[in-house]
Structure 1
Amino acid sequence: MQLMSVQRNALVSAVVSTLREKRSKSRWNDVKTLCAPTSLTPQQFSEITLQLRNNPHLALRFFFWSHRTSLCAHDLLSYSTIIHVLARSRRFKTLTLSLITSAIHVDGPDHRPDRPPKIFETLAKTYRRCDSAPFVFDLLIRAFLKPHNSLDRSILIVRSLRSRNISPTIGTCNLLIRAVSRSRGANAALAVYREVFDDRVKPNAQTFNVLMLGFYQDGILDKVEEIWIEMGKVLDCLDCSPNVFSYCVLLAAFCDRGMMDRAVGVWEEMRIKAVEADAMVYNTLISGFCKSLDLVKAEEVFRQMGLSNVEATTMTYEHMITGYCKIGDVGSAILLYKDMRRRKFRPDASTVDSVVGVLCDKSRVLEALEMFSHVMKREGFYPGRLSFEFLIKGLCEDGKIDEALKLQTEMVGKGFEPDSEIYKAFIKAYSKCGDKEKARKLTEEMFAIGSELEEV
């Protein structure tokens, strides 16, 4: 046994010397010759890698070469050693994450859902010997947060680390909270937040942004303000402040609830505290005023956006155009639509629906049809059903049945089947022009289709 140990140590020393001292490609053949006729054990690989830890690039090349040539059947120990060496250098972050992902599966399925994974236990046992850095556990947590891995395992790792008085970085904790919020909801994310942040790890603005956004997306808007109040208390103690994204989420929560006075209060607070608004903030406030049909104030914010040298976006124009359409101001809607097109912005289907609808309401059907035909030629544009319905009804009312039939054919080609409203428009048009037989047949067809749908 002692002889075997001496031989093993001699082999480790010989391989390390060869790797350190030889610079040519021949060193890999020399290492292979030294190891012949057997392979390196994971323990030997680990010992060699430890002696190369001050040269992580060489250690990494040695790992990949030994893996490619099957010189070593790597297990959790050898994987953990190279992972520690790379994490210690804080280089090769992407490669380290990849190695951790491979190590998670190297020992097959881990059937202990109530305990940290085997790779964590191995990394923890080898941590001090490898003179590693806590960053290695951040990478492990992030690896488990990736798709197809395990959120529960990430939480277990955090708990195990905290029991050892080791805390993940703020960035990793924020990623964990975000992942919990997306998969299990904002309340679950808040519970994790309460657990992982304490006197050792303090939250930052991004932490609260994740929580606020989660509650906003879950539609629990009153909770957004609660988190905002807590953020103010915590960040004041840390001499930090909410950032522009924080204000934007709070602003959106008030706007969505129609609380525009409160939204304006947030807007004024931003100005007083010299928090520079970005396009997202302007768009949120403009959207709120447009939804409440206060286009005068929406226009004021729109003008202020330009004066502040903040570039308007597609969404800016869409909010304004839709708002003007809702109050029937077709002139302003068309002017903005033309300006939008001049700036090469591409309106979405709902915005086109709004403009087509208001033009048809104002008996400007041909103008609406021309606009719709033009936008339909745009690559990647997928029309909504409403535009077809508005135009077909308008054309039928104007007695332009041929044009309406042509548009209906195009509508069906886009996957929209005619409903009772479309049938009624054609029936009324045929009756008006004296074609009673056509109107009768369409009426029978409409009721037949209606009966079939009821049976289904």
Structure 2
Amino acid sequence: MNIKWPRLLTPTHLAQLIRKQKNTSTALQIFNEAKSKYLNYRHNGPVYATMIDILGSSGRLTEMKEVIDQMKEDSCECRDSTFAGAIKTYAEAGMLDEATSLFRNLPHFNCVNWTESFNTLLQIMVKESKLETAHRLFLENSHGWEVKSRTRSLNLLMDALCQGNRSDLALQVFQEMNYQCCYPDRDSYRIIMKGLCKEGRLNEATHLLYSMFWRISQKGSGEDVVIYRTLLGALCDNGLVQEAVEILGKVLRKGLKAPNRWRKQLDFYQCGDGDIQCAKVLINEALMKGIVPSSDSYTAMAVDLYFEDEIGEANKVLDEMRDRGFIPSLLIYEAKVAALCGRGRVDEAVKVIDEEMVEGSCVPTVRLYNNVIKGLCDAKRSALAVGYLEKMVRQVGCVPDKETYAILVDGLCHDGRFVEASQILEEMLIKEYWPGVGTYNALIQGLCFIGRQYEAVMWLEEMVSQDVFSEMLKQMMRST
């Protein structure tokens, strides 16, 4: 290992040094040798976080655990985000027990806030349908001063219960929030309302809505329109249009504090008997006219409609928002692109970035670009997707991330464009993003298939130089 060590080493300098290393083993060796070369040098939290992130990204979980243990022995101050990242890495590798064990050992580290780690592990357990374990985790850790924002944690639990068609249990959690010294927020109501309506528990959903009027909607908030629309739409779907109209009047009067002129203009008689879709459209229009116009209220309505795959209705909200002089937010564009790509309408998603956002002077984010690139790759148009990588590189403040390159390489391989995939992977490595085993395998097999064995061997050697090959064998041994 030929490393030019500085005369004086600081933790910041060491973090930069190990980040620059192409080989994970070399980075780890530098990290370990630093203490012996400089008698007064000590690792700090950011250096440990950097090394843990590198090892986790490379799939070297054994070494990652060793560095975490070393950090505990050093008792240096460390951030909650470091543990949250390690917990997520363990979970992605199917090592949920290790993730849980790390969280339970946090009292032995010099870390004063565990909120992010707690919510990360809770979310993972919910996703894995380990609801009993998640509930026990919450009971054990929700009362300590190290974990804050209990409302978010309870929202996670309620959302999981509603996803599993247990809105009855979610409602119990909701009703007991006061005893946990926390109070329902807008997300709490949204989650419970969707769960109750999904299971047809409309009486309870209606009572929930009325409780909203005096708990979080006393001044009339346009952002609550999403929750109101959920109940009103569910009533219509169940043939209770008249009940929906009656409740709409109360929503406009008490929930949104709508001007009298809008409430007097409601006319549902134009809808024929049983024309549920017409009634729902009129309800959406009444809600939009009834809210106090604001960017937040329009954004909430549009994003919810795009999420519900009601693209046409969401576009109407977007048009009205512009007519009222409001500029659509980035959240709306992200939701619109996701909805269009989900429907396979990639050309329209491309227009959002190339035309709508340009006209609205809104700058696309990395996440938005990644959605479009994935949509194009899913549509087997990876060559066009490469053009958006070039746009990202040219755009100030928009740096392609590991996901960008991984999506492109996989997409190009699926389209049989292995030479272009090889070029993108090379650029990915220059940017110091390390691909997974699957990405290497797909490219190497593809290059062999088109007769470019030399390049395939070069990538195989790259795998070996990064110890990816040996890590792949370890994973195979663990799985057997």
TM-score, normalised on structure 1? 0.49
Larger Rg: 1
Tell me the TM-score normalised to structure 2 length. 0.47
